[in-house]
Amino acid sequence: MWRVEPVRARRGRLQVPAPRNPLTEALEAAHHELNALEAETFEALAAGDIARAATSFRAFRQSAERHIRCEEELLFPVFEMRARLPHGGPTSILRAEHGQIRDLLRDLAREIESGGSDAERLRAALRGVVADHQRKEETILYPWTERLLTEGEVDRLLARARAFRD
């Protein structure tokens, strides 16, 4: 069940507490930030500003790699332990997709830095993998993990995720 407080009606006043899904919300916000950095890179590239595209892409890649490591080193192990799905569960698919994302980021880095013409094809491939990957995390993995934890555990995991560095 979602950790949603029951709606409490009081005399002439309806209190509707916000749903408490802080882990899912924070990680969705991280995806949005990554997608904005990705868009920035390709806007610069479309405008012919290779230097700005390269700078923006470096920031995007660094943030994406950090997000992936945070999931693989902090979030997924917690899920695997609590769900008792260490092998062959949803995280094995997500980890394999992380591998594809990392490979595409590496290829894109080479292409963008050299001003190559294959960047748009690689971008389309990356978007194809990322869109489906993010959807699975946001609709299945994050909420499922959140349901397996107490509020205190969610808060501690979030604090560790926020402090996560390379």
Site for Fe ion (CB under 5 A): which residue of 34, 42, 45, 71? 71
Residue 57 or 76: the one with the smaller Cβ distance to Fe ion is 76
**How is residue 144 written in tokens?**
């499922």
Q: Label residue 67 left, alpha or beta by phi (over 0 means left) and psi (-120 to 50 means alpha).
A: alpha
Residue 13: strand, helix, or coil = strand
Angle ∠(7,83,21) on CA atoms, nearest 5: 30
CA distance linking residue 106 with residue 150, whole number of Å? 38
Query: Taking the complex as a whole, how short is the minimal distance between the CB of residue 151 and Fe ion, in angstroms?
Result: 22
Q: Based on CB atoms, which residue is closest to Fe ion, 98 or 123?
A: 98
Shortest Cβ distance from residue 31 to Fe ion (Å)? 6
Smallest distance, Fe ion to C-beta of residue 105, A: 13
List the x/- string, 124-153, binding to Fe ion by CB under 5 A: -------------x----------------
Q: State the Cα–Cα distance between residues 159 and 92, nearest whole angstrom.
A: 25
Q: Which one of the spans 48-56, 71-79, 85-93, 155-163 is the region binding Fe ion (CB under 5 A)?
A: 71-79
- Residues forming contacts to Fe ion in the complex (CB under 5 A) are 71, 137
